[in-house]
Structure 1
Amino acid sequence: MTSATTRPVRIGLQIQPQHADYAKIRQVAAEAEELGADILFNWDHFYPLFGEPEGKHFECWTMLGAWAEATSRVEIGALVTCNSYRNPELLADMARTVDNISDGRLILGIGSGWFEKDYDEYGYEFGTAGGRLDNLAESLPRIESRLAKLNPQPVRKIPVLIGGGGEKKTLKLVAKHADIWHGFGDPEVVSRKVKILDQHCADVGRDPSEIERSVGVGDGDPEVLGTQLRELGVSLFTANAGGPDFDLGPLRRWIEWRDKQNA
C-alpha cells in the first residue's frame, strides 16, 4: 500500500456531452453537484463516442466556461483535453481564464489524443500514437511556461491531470508534470501501472505520493472495486453518465461509499 492512501477519497463524474441538449447537460451538472460529487468532467471530442456517431454533441472548453459560472463548489475539467486540438499557449490561457471564472476550481486534464474521426473531420493531422505523445511532451513545458507569464495569474496552481496508461512515455510524462494520474482497468492492471509510475518518479527524483491516482470506475461496485483500488493508492474514483438519460445511480453509490471511507 502506498502513502497515497492517506489522501481522502474523492468522487468524480464524467458527464459525457453527447446525445443531449445543453439544458439537460447543465441540469445533470447541477444535480451531480447537489449530490456531492467532488469533480465534474466532460471530454474533448467533436462527435459522440457511443451510440449514433452523428448524434448531438458539444465542444469541451466552451462548456467548461459555462460550468464555471453554473456551478459553485465542484472542481471542473476535461477528461481529457486533446493536446492536438489547440496551441499549447492558447490552452494555457483558456485554462487560466476558466480557473478565474470558477474562482480556482479548474483541473487541467490533458492527453495525447486518439479518436481519429475528430482529427479527420476537423482537419488535424492524426499521425501516429508515438508522434502524438512526443507532441504532448513538447507541449507540457510550453503550457507551464505560459501559465507563469499570464496576467492575471490563475487563482491557484492549476492541477494537471494526465490521462493514459502508456508505460514508457505517458507514465514518464505523469512523473515529470502531473499532479493527478488518470487510468483505466481492473485492479491487476492498475497495480502494474502504479508500480511503473512509482519507478518513473524515482528516476526523475520525485516523491510518488505527490501524484493523486485516479481511475475510471464506470458502474463498478464500490464495496469491491473501490476497496481493491484504494489498497493500491487510488483516491479519485470517476463514474460516468452519458446522454440522453444520464443515469446518476452509480454516482450516488460511489458518493455513499466515499462518505463511509472518509468518516
Structure 2
Amino acid sequence: MSRPVRIACQVQPQHADYAQIRDVVARAEDAGADVVFTWDHFFPLRGDADGKHFECWTMLGAWAEATSRVEIGALVTCNSYRNPDLLADMARTVDHISGGRLILGIGAGWFEKDYDEYGYDFGTPGTRLRALAEALPRIRRRWDRLNPPPTRDIPILVGGGGEKKTLRYTAEHATIWHTFGDAATLRHKSAVLDGHCADVGRDPAEIERSVGVSRPPEEVGEELVAAGASLFTVGTSGPDYDLTLIERWLAWRDAR
C-alpha cells in the first residue's frame, strides 16, 4: 500500500524544566507534526549525565490531555522497566485519555545506567530480547481482557534493527518499525523484515517503516522514501528545543 509521508518530533526530556517540555509539545503540534514522541530513560543521554530529566509514561498521560490532534508515544518504551500486563494497562489508559492517539513504541532496552541506578537486571542482549518476545503477546492478551478495552487497535511500534530477532518480532506483532541509518541500510533491513513477514504469513505492506533523521529533507528525504520510509522522526533536546529542522521536514512533506 502507498502511505502518506508523516513527520514526527521526538521531544527528548532532558536538561529542561517541564514547562519547557510542555511548550515544545504544543509548538510541534501547532507546526503540523503528525506524531510527538518522547523517550523512555531515567537520565540524560547527552550532556550532563545527571542533568534534569523526566519520566516517560507520566508525561504521556499529561501530553494526552495537553494535545488534541497529534499521535503520542515513546520512541521507545524499554520493555524491562514495567511488567507487560501493567504496561498494557498504562497504554490502554493513555489511549483513552488521548481519545485514541497513542502509539505503543517498545524495544528491548540498552542503556545500562538506567538499569543499574533503578535496580533492574541488565542481563545480556539475548535475555532482554527474549523478554521482549514474551512481552509482546502478553500485552495483546491483556488488552483483550481490559474493561473498557482500548479505543482502537493500538499501533505497536518496535524499534531496532537486529535481523534475526528484533525484525522477526516486528513481523509478528508490529504495525510500525523504527530504525536508523541511510537509504541503503533501510532498504536492506526492510528486505529482511519482508522475509520474516513471509515466514509468518503477514503482508509486509501492513508495517509502516519509520526512520530517525538528522539531516535536512533536501539531502535525504526522497531517497529514504524510495527505500520505503514514510514516517520521519526529528529529535530535539532541552533546554532550547529548536524546531528548525522539523519545520523543514514539515514544509517538505507539505510540498510533496
Give the TM-score normalised by the residue count of structure 1: 0.96
Offset at 1:223?
2.1
Superposed, which structure 2 residues align to 1:67-82 within 5 Å? Answer: 67-82=63-78
Determine whether 1:228 maps to 2:223: yes
The alignment covers a number of residue pairs equal to 256
Superposed, which structure 2 residues align to 1:67-216 within 5 Å? Answer: 67-216=63-212
- Aligned with 2:50 (options 54, 58, 65): 54
**Counterpart of 2:97 in structure 1: which amino acid?**
I
**Counterpart of 1:200 in structure 2: which amino acid?**
H
Offset at 1:234?
0.6
Distance in 2, Cα, partners of 1:142 & 1:155: 18
- Aligned with 1:19 (options 3, 11, 15): 15
Distance in 2, Cα, partners of 1:69 & 1:61: 13
Offset at 1:81?
0.2
* 3-state SS in 2 of match to 1:13: strand
Deviations 1:3-46 (A, max 9, x none): 4xx10000000000000000000000000000000000000000
* 3-state SS in 1 of match to 2:250: helix
**Counterpart of 1:249 in structure 2: which amino acid?**
T
Q: What residue number does 1:30 align with?
A: 26
Q: What residue number does 2:239 align with?
A: 244
Distance in 1, Cα, partners of 2:126 & 2:179: 18
Distance in 2, Cα, partners of 1:69 & 1:29: 12
The range that moved more, 91-100 or 187-196, is 187-196
**Counterpart of 1:227 in structure 2: which amino acid?**
E
Distance in 2, Cα, partners of 1:128 & 1:154: 33
Offset at 1:191?
1.1
* Structure 2: tracts of 5 or more residues without a match: none
Determine whether 1:39 maps to 2:35: yes
Distance in 1, Cα, partners of 2:235 & 2:61: 20
* 3-state SS in 1 of match to 2:4: coil
Distance in 2, Cα, partners of 1:191 & 1:10: 19
CA RMSD of aligned residues (A): 0.6
Offset at 1:134?
0.5
Distance in 2, Cα, partners of 1:145 & 1:25: 34
Distance in 2, Cα, partners of 1:135 & 1:67: 28
Determine whether 1:64 maps to 2:60: yes
* 3-state SS in 2 of match to 1:234: coil
**Counterpart of 1:245 in structure 2: which amino acid?**
D
Distance in 2, Cα, partners of 1:16 & 1:221: 19
Q: What residue number does 2:255 align with?
A: 260
Q: Detail structure 1 runs of 4+ shifted over 4 Å in the superposition.
A: none
* Structure 1: tracts of 5 or more residues without a match: none
* 3-state SS in 1 of match to 2:37: strand
Do the aligned residues in 1 keep the contact of 2:41 with 2:55 (CA within 8 Å)? Answer: yes
Distance in 2, Cα, partners of 1:144 & 1:75: 20
